[in-house]
Structure 1
Amino acid sequence: MNVKTSYLAGDWKEYTLTNDQGMMVRVLNFGGIIREIQVPDRNGRLENVVLGYRDAADYKEDTNYFGALIGRVAGRIAGASFTLDGREYQLDANDDSNHLHGGAGGFHQVLWEVEPFETDETVGLKLFHESPDGTGGYPGNLLVTVTYTLNHANQLTLDYQAKSDRTTVFTLTNHSHFNLSGDLKSTVHQHQVVIDSSRFAELDEELIPTGRMLDADGTTFDFRQDRKLGDGFGGQTPQHRVAGGGYDHYFLFDWEKVKQVVVSDPVSGRKMEVETDQPGMVMYTDNQVGDDLELTEGMSRKHLGMCFETQGSPASLQHDGFPSVVLPAGELYEKQTVFTFSAE
C-alpha cells in the first residue's frame, strides 16, 4: 500500500493510491476529482474504468463533472431557489433557469485541503473544505470532510461528513463516470446493471422531477434483475426522450438487496458493486456527452460512461415523498458509499 503526491500547475496536486493487488486510484485536490481507477479484468489486465481528461487543465472548464465531488447540493434545484424556515434563498442559475450541482462555484471547482494516510490495511486521503455562509446563496458556515479509502480487497470507500452552524440544505456525491470495458474500449450499451429499486422519479423537459414517483415494473427502468443499459438508449419512451436518449433519473432504493447496485461488463469480466446508506441515487448514462473531448484513452462520445450518484433528492425542496436534503444546524451529516471491484 502506498500513496504518492505529484505537483501539477499552480496549486494543483495529484495523489496516487495503490494497493497490494495493483489497483490504483488517482485523485486531484482540485474538485476532489477521481481522475483514474485502474482495476484488473478477468485475465488480470489492469485498465482504467473511469472517464478523465488527458490534460488536467481541462477540468477547470468541465461541464460534465468527470470524477468530481458535487455540492453543496447534488442534482437540480428547480428555479434556482428554495424556501427554508419561511425564508427564500436564491441560488446560481447555471442550468438554464435552474441550479445544478452546487452552481458554477460548487465543490467541483474548489481546491480541497488534502491529508494522505497509510495503514497496514488501507491507503487514502482526507479532503477538507470550509464553505462560508452565503456561498452560492446557501445559508450556513459549512465544514466538509471527505475520505477516500482504498483497501486490499479492491474496495474504494467514500465517507462524507459535514456540519453547518445554520440549518441549510446539503447532499454530497461523487460524479465519476464508469466504464468497465477498460480504457474506454466500448460504450456502456452492453453493461449489465442490477439496481435495488422499483420506483424512479418522473422528469419534465428540463430534467426537473415532476413530483411523481413512477413504478418501474415492466419498463426499461426496472433493474431489479440484470438488464442491459442499452435497453433504455434511443429515446423510445417519453422519459428516455427527455433524458436525451438514456437515463438521468433518481432511483429510490427498496432495501431488499445487500448491494444497492451491481454492474458487470460481460466482455472484460469486470464487476462493480455499490453499497451505500444514501436513500437513492441518480443514474446518468452520458446522454449529453459530445464527441469533442480529449480523454485519457481517446475521444469522448455519447453513452461512453455511467454515473451512480448516491444522494438525497433536491426534489424534496418542492415535493413531498422524496428523501430530504435539509441539514439542521449543528447536526452531523454522515454518509458512506463503497465501490467494490472484482472480475469473473
Structure 2
Amino acid sequence: MEFSKKQFGELAGRPVYEYTLKNKQGLSLSALNFGGTVTGIRTPDRKGQFKNIVLGFDDIEDYVQYRPFYGCLVGRTAGRIDEGKFTLAGETYQLQQSEGKNHHHGGNPAFDAYLWDTALVEDGDTAHLVFSYFSPDGENGYPGNLDVKVTYTLTEANEWIIHYEATTDKPTLFNPTNHIFFNLTGNHEQTIKQHELQIRSDHVAEVRADLIPTGKLMPVEGTDFDLREPQPLVKAIESEHPQLKMNGGLDTPFLLTHEAAKPDVILSEANSGRQVVITTDRDAVVVYTHNGVSGNYQIDGKKVEPYAGVALETQQLPDAIHHQHFGHTILYPGEVFHSETIFQFEQDQ
C-alpha cells in the first residue's frame, strides 16, 4: 500500500492537507483533513484506464464558497430536522435553522467545514486515514460534548470502508454520513442519467416541498422509485411522479431491506463497465441526483451542471427524532456509536 501527503491549501492560516492511499491494483483514495472530504477515487474501467469517479474541487476556496457537500462528512445529523427543534430526555432544544426554518446537514458550519485531526495508519495490506473531531456542547444547538472518530480504510480488495465512532456526555442526536457524489464515467460533463441504480428497498420516505419527511413510508411497487432491479437514473429524473417531479429527480430516503451476504446498493455505468457495490449497517440510503447546482463553479476547468453526479448517503432516515418508526438516532452517555459502510469498486468484463 502506498500513501502520500501534500498541502492542498490554507484555511484561516492553517494548512489543509490532501492524503492519498493507493493499493497494489492502482486504485487510489484521496481525502482532505478539511471535513474528511474525499477529493478523488481513481478506479479503472474495463480497459484498465483509471479516472476519478467522484466530484471534487482542486482548491479549498471552492469548497468554502460553494459548499456543495462533495465527498464530505456530514453531521451531527445528516438531512433535515423539522424547524430544527426536538425534545430529548425532557429538554427541548432549538438547533440552528440553517435552511429556511429547518436544520440541514448539522448546520453551518458543521462537520464538512472544519479541520479534523488526521492520522495515517498502516496495517499490513490495508491503510487507514483516521479523522477525529471534538464537537462541544451547544455547537449549532446540539447538547453534549461529542467525540467523533471516522476511519477511511482502503484495502487490496478495492474496498473503501468508512467506520464511524462517537461518544457523548449528554443525550444527543447523531446520524452521520459521507456525502460522496459518483460519476462513473470519470467525466462530469457526461451526466449520470444513464447510470443504472439498484437498491434493496421496498419503501421510500415521502417528503414535503421543503424535503422534510412527512412520516409516511410509500411502497415503491408500481412507481419510478422501484429500483429493486437495476434502472437507468433518467427514469426517475424525468418521472411524472409528484415527488420526483417536485424535485427534478431523486432527493429521496430509501428504507433498506437488508439481506445477508447481498449488497444494499449497486451503481453501474455500461460504457466504462465500472460498478460501485455498497453494503451498510444503516437503515437507509438517501439518493440525490444533483438536481441543482449551488453556484457557477467548475471542475477541471469545466462548468458543473445538474445531474453531474449522484450522491449515495448511507444513514438512518432523516428527521427520525420526530418519527418513531424511522429508527434510532439518539446517542446516550456510556454508549459508543459504531457504524460501517463498505464501497466495493468493480468492473464488468
**Whole-Å Cα distance in 1 between the matches of residues 300 and 41 of structure 2?**
12
Post-superposition Cα deviations, 1:256-291, rounded to whole Å, max 9, x if no partner, equal 361000111001100100000011111111012267
Secondary structure of 1:281's counterpart equals strand
Query: Which stretch shifts more, 5-14 or 172-181?
Result: 5-14
Mapped pair 1:2 → 2:2:
yes
Given that 1:278 and 1:311 are in contact with CA atoms closer than 8 Å, whether structure 2 keeps it comes out as yes
Deviation (angstroms), 1:254: 1.0
Post-superposition Cα deviations, 1:219-258, rounded to whole Å, max 9, x if no partner, equal 1100101111110113522101222x10111111111361
Secondary structure of 2:121's counterpart equals strand
Two-structure CA RMSD over aligned residues (Å): 1.3
Deviation (angstroms), 1:124: 2.1
Name the residue aligned to 1:276. Answer: 280
Name the residue aligned to 1:36. Answer: 40
- Paired residue type of 1:93: Q
Deviation (angstroms), 1:82: 1.0
Query: Which stretch shifts more, 296-305 or 185-194?
Result: 296-305
Q: Percent identity?
A: 38
Name the residue aligned to 2:240. Answer: 236
- Paired residue type of 1:48: N
Post-superposition Cα deviations, 1:37-77, rounded to whole Å, max 9, x if no partner, equal 10000000000100011323211123321111000000000
Given that 2:35 and 2:111 are in contact with CA atoms closer than 8 Å, whether structure 1 keeps it comes out as yes
Given that 1:54 and 1:297 are in contact with CA atoms closer than 8 Å, whether structure 2 keeps it comes out as no
**Whole-Å Cα distance in 2 between the matches of residues 55 and 327 of structure 1?**
35
**Whole-Å Cα distance in 2 between the matches of residues 269 and 298 of structure 1?**
24
**Whole-Å Cα distance in 2 between the matches of residues 201 and 146 of structure 1?**
27
Name the residue aligned to 1:267. Answer: 271
Post-superposition Cα deviations, 1:170-215, rounded to whole Å, max 9, x if no partner, equal 0110001101111325111011111010100001110110110000
- Paired residue type of 2:187: D
Name the residue aligned to 1:58. Answer: 62
Within 5 Å, give how 1:306-325 maps onto structure 2. 306-325=310-329
Deviation (angstroms), 1:81: 1.2
Secondary structure of 2:259's counterpart equals coil
Aligned counterpart in structure 2 of residue 298 of structure 1, from 298, 302, 324: 302
Aligned counterpart in structure 2 of residue 71 of structure 1, from 75, 82, 87: 75
**Whole-Å Cα distance in 1 between the matches of residues 176 and 215 of structure 2?**
21
**Whole-Å Cα distance in 2 between the matches of residues 100 and 325 of structure 1?**
15
Query: Which stretch shifts more, 82-91 or 289-298?
Result: 289-298
Aligned counterpart in structure 2 of residue 24 of structure 1, from 5, 22, 28: 28
Q: What residue ranges of structure 2 are gaps of 5+ in the alignment?
A: none
**Whole-Å Cα distance in 1 between the matches of residues 303 and 24 of structure 2?**
31
Given that 2:68 and 2:294 are in contact with CA atoms closer than 8 Å, whether structure 1 keeps it comes out as no
Secondary structure of 1:60's counterpart equals helix
Mapped pair 1:252 → 2:255:
yes
How many correspondences in the alignment?
343
Query: Which stretch shifts more, 72-81 or 177-186?
Result: 177-186
Given that 1:157 and 1:338 are in contact with CA atoms closer than 8 Å, whether structure 2 keeps it comes out as yes
Name the residue aligned to 1:91. Answer: 95
Query: Which stretch shifts more, 227-236 or 285-294?
Result: 285-294
Mapped pair 1:151 → 2:155:
yes
Given that 1:198 and 1:216 are in contact with CA atoms closer than 8 Å, whether structure 2 keeps it comes out as yes
Deviation (angstroms), 1:298: 2.4
Residues 314 and 176 of structure 1: CA distance in aligned 2, closer, same or farther (over 3 Å): same
Secondary structure of 1:13's counterpart equals strand
Name the residue aligned to 2:208. Answer: 204
Normalising to structure 2: TM-score of the pair? 0.95
Q: 4+ residue runs of structure 1 moved beyond 3 angstroms? A: none
**Whole-Å Cα distance in 2 between the matches of residues 273 and 67 of structure 1?**
17
Aligned counterpart in structure 2 of residue 162 of structure 1, from 166, 169, 176: 166
Normalising to structure 1: TM-score of the pair? 0.97
